[in-house]
Amino acid sequence: MRQMLGVMTLLCLFMSSEMFANSVPAQASYPGEQEFAKGENLLKQKQYQEARAVLEAGLTKNATNAQAHFNLAEACRGLKAWACAEEYYETALQLDAKSSAAGSTKPRLHKATAWKLLDEVTAWRLLDEAKGLIAGGKAQPDRMKQAEDSLDSANQLGLNKEQQALYQQLQAKLPRQRSTAVPTMQKPDGLTGGAGTQDMPMALVPAGEFTMGSTMAEDEKPVHQVYLNAFYMDKYEVTVGQYAKFLEVTDMEEPPDWYVMNQPQHQKRPVVNVDWEDAVMYCKWAGKRLPTEAEWEKAARGTDGRIYPWGNEAPTRLHANYGRKEWNNHLALVPVGSFEEGKSPYGIYDMAGNSWEWVSDWYDYDFYKNSPRRNPIGPATGDSKVVRGGSWLYISEFLRSAHRFSAQPTNKHFGYGFRCAKTP
């Protein structure tokens, strides 16, 4: 009897729970939810065309989902539909910024990743435009000028290995005589860009030839003449204070020992412990780019073949910060612009000592033997990147403007910093 009562009790409880469950309405899904979930799954399976169609259908129901726009951009990137990818990355970032401003608790995009991907697909779009213009416009100077402008714009964004190879192929097909005119431009002190960049003055380095390389080291040979278009270079290395503003508005990780560097007494000293990617991302955020190795050397030594930025006189403590023993919690570095006697012919400071400076080029020991004579951008591939200028730790030999040094792009050492460049 007790067993029967127990069974009946359990049966009643089960029926009651079923009735309760059926009486509670199912939680309503938001518009486009099914399409967004299906599209994300297709994207993971690399079924890009199907993912694109499903996500586009979902966005007709709900156009405010930042992650869906990002996923659609990824599908377009997989299809090499560069303009489509560019459009949806931009929209995703805009929606994410609005969501953040409104105090939303929804999961956020990783902005640094989205920016990087946006630059990548924009560069591909520009390279494709240049390729089409060159193929169909050899007898039309205006089309070749458009192609040249597209290539320059792509290069400013920073190119990956595959893009660099295509860039160099297309550059070789352009007419040899490129424009040497310097476009009119607002004074660099008023350049717009990321927050905090307006306090970074720039110096104009005019178009023309300069002497690159030296006979003092094998990887600096042969000495050769290089023609560069006009460009702007930061007068000072990027400081801790400027990098702090960058970190405030991005998802980039803080460099090692940031709590040590980011102290009031260090705000005007160069930021270090940043790797090549960190430097690239900062310059892009600032509306600029890393200089090429050739641009860096010309900005440092000018056109008269001098050994150091200030001339041929051996370095002294009035010219540069070098030869120190310990980092000493960032006190080994000095505030930027401290050496008036050490500036370059263009009024650019600290191009010898203080911190090594990342440039955009891959390092190749024998590159100068086959380097292009006009606007070289370095090898298409490599294992290490070029750093220039020596640092607070190194002896005077490393301060020569022609001296080449290589570093793994992932290195975050307390001697590695950077400055940015910009095309007029």
Which tokens hold the place of 153? 């714009």
Does the structure show a pLDDT above 70 at 236?
yes
Half-sphere exposure of 65 (CA within 13 A, CB side): 23
H or E segment and range at residue 55: helix 48-61
* Selection from 356, 364, 322, 362 nearest residue 339 by Cα: 322
Which tokens hold the place of 93? 């970032």
Does the structure show a pLDDT above 90 at 154?
no
Angle between helices 276-285 and 111-136 (to 10 degrees): 80
Per-residue pLDDT of 276-327, as tens digits, reads 999 999 999 999 999 999 999 999 999 999 999 999 999 998 999 999 989 9
Per-residue pLDDT of 34-43, as tens digits, reads 998 998 999 9
CB 345 within 8 A of CB 211: no
Q: Is the pTM of this model over 0.75?
A: no
What does the pLDDT read at residue 138? 59
Interacting residues of 403 by C-beta distance below 8 A, sequence separation 6+: 216, 217, 220, 388, 390, 397
Record: fold of 33-100: 1.25.40
The Cα 72–Cα 84 span in angstroms is 9
Per-residue pLDDT of 216-227, as tens digits, reads 999 999 999 999
Does the structure show a pLDDT above 60 at 7?
no
Average pLDDT across the chain, whole number: 85
* Confidence tier at 137 by pLDDT (50, 70, 90): low
Does the structure show a pLDDT above 60 at 195?
no
Listed by start position, the domains of the chain span 33-100, 117-173, 188-422
Q: How far is CA 14 from the centre of its chain?
A: 61
Torsion angles phi and psi, residue 294, rounded to 5: -65, -45
Q: What percent of the chain lies above the pLDDT cut of 70?
A: 83
CB 223 within 8 A of CB 215: yes
Per-residue pLDDT of 112-132, as tens digits, reads 677 778 888 888 998 998 888
Q: Indicate the DSSP class of residue 358.
A: E
Does the structure show a pLDDT above 50 at 399?
yes
Which tokens hold the place of 120? 């990548």
Does the structure show a pLDDT above 80 at 12?
no
Alpha helices in 137-210 (DSSP H): 141-157, 161-173
Half-sphere exposure of 294 (CA within 13 A, CB side): 26
Cis check for the bond before 222: say yes or no (omega within 30 of 0). Answer: yes
Convert 84-101 to b/e letters by CB count within 10 Å (16 or more is b): bbbbbbebbbebbeebee
Q: From residue 13, give the alpha-carbon distance in Å to each of 5, 10, 65, 230.
A: 12, 5, 42, 83
Record: fold of 188-422: paralog of FGE (formylglycine-generating enzyme) (3.90.1580)
